[in-house]
Amino acid sequence: MLGRVTVGLFFLLLVWGNLVAGLKAGLACPDWPLCHGKVLPPFRFDIYMEFFHRVIAAVAAGFLVALSWRRYRDYRGAARAVPVLALGLLAGEIALGGAVVLLHVPVQLTTVHFMIGLVVFLLAVYMASFDGIRELPAFSLSGRSALFFGVGALVFLLAALGAYVRHADAGLACTDWPACFGGILPKVFTGHVLIHFSHRVLAALVFLTIVALYAAVSLDRRLGESRRLALALLFLALGQIVIGGAVVLSKLYFLATGLHLAVALGMLTVLFHLWAREVKRGEAPPWNP
């Protein structure tokens, strides 16, 4: 239960942060850790969007500390590096959050802030899946588990590039969709257009990879139990393409961009469970001695 709540809070935190970015409310509270010099800031929609982002972050951090402490007690050997790493990244994420505000939301730092938050989310998913008692913690990058891990890494990279596109204000460098300036290829490959178009190309490659993954799972009898998850992943990827188009055509409407990230987190979670299922089948020995 603790693991599921922690994962849910970090899911909400990441999506809420995306909504804040979509509303251009990242500096609605220009100071840190207070907001306009107060614990409770003056009421205004953009201020409270940023303020509640900080509140959710504080609550999620508390749950992650509790989950990490419990897993540290239940894990043995090298597996204890997981909760320690989660807490170390959490501390860095808190410091980066303050730096993002005080330095007026620099593009590179904000993107790194998102990427670290995504890693913390995945570590929380790991600790929720491997409790150290019923499911001993294990790790594998061989055989079929490597396939799922690799596709997950591609989706992670795509999400990170999407964050960079957003924070670099390149989301509307191609104002039409699925074309870019009316053609398959844009007329120029420089600046914001290059950043935006690179995200589209990587998205297409990820989708084709997921199609191939679903075909491989369908043809492999040993992976029969994973077909439903693979099908769910395929539908999420299809939906992500449609939502990506809606993001552009709606001129980056903040609810569309928030849904775009939520689906990406769903894809990462499904890929994690596909990977974890193969690990739990015994391809890798547990980390606990």
pLDDT digits (tens, 9 = 90+) for 165-186: 888 888 888 888 888 888 888 8
Tell me the domain boundaries of the chain.
1-136, 138-289
- Average pLDDT value for the chain: 87
Determine the distance from the C-alpha atom of residue 216 to the mean position of all C-alpha atoms in its chain, rounded to a whole number. 25
List pLDDT tens digits, range 36-59: 777 777 788 888 788 888 899 999
Measured between alpha carbons, how far is residue 35 from residues 18, 21, 23, 31, 150 in Å?
A: 19, 17, 17, 6, 41
Q: pLDDT-derived band of residue 11, with 50, 70 and 90 as boundaries?
A: very high
pTM tops 0.85: yes
CA-nearest of 149, 148, 93, 151 to 119 is 93
The radius of gyration of the chain from alpha carbons, rounded to an integer in Å, stands at: 20
pLDDT at site 289: 46
% of the chain with per-residue pLDDT over 70 = 97
Q: Which residue has the higher pLDDT, 119 or 43?
A: 119
Judged against a pLDDT cut of 50, whether residue 254 lies above it is answered with: yes
- With beta carbons less than 8 A apart as the criterion, state whether 233 and 265 touch: no
- The yes-or-no verdict on residue 287 having pLDDT over 60 is no
Nearest partner of 49 among 259, 273, 254, 264, judged by Cα: 254
Name which of 206, 64, 57 is nearest 126 in CA terms. 64
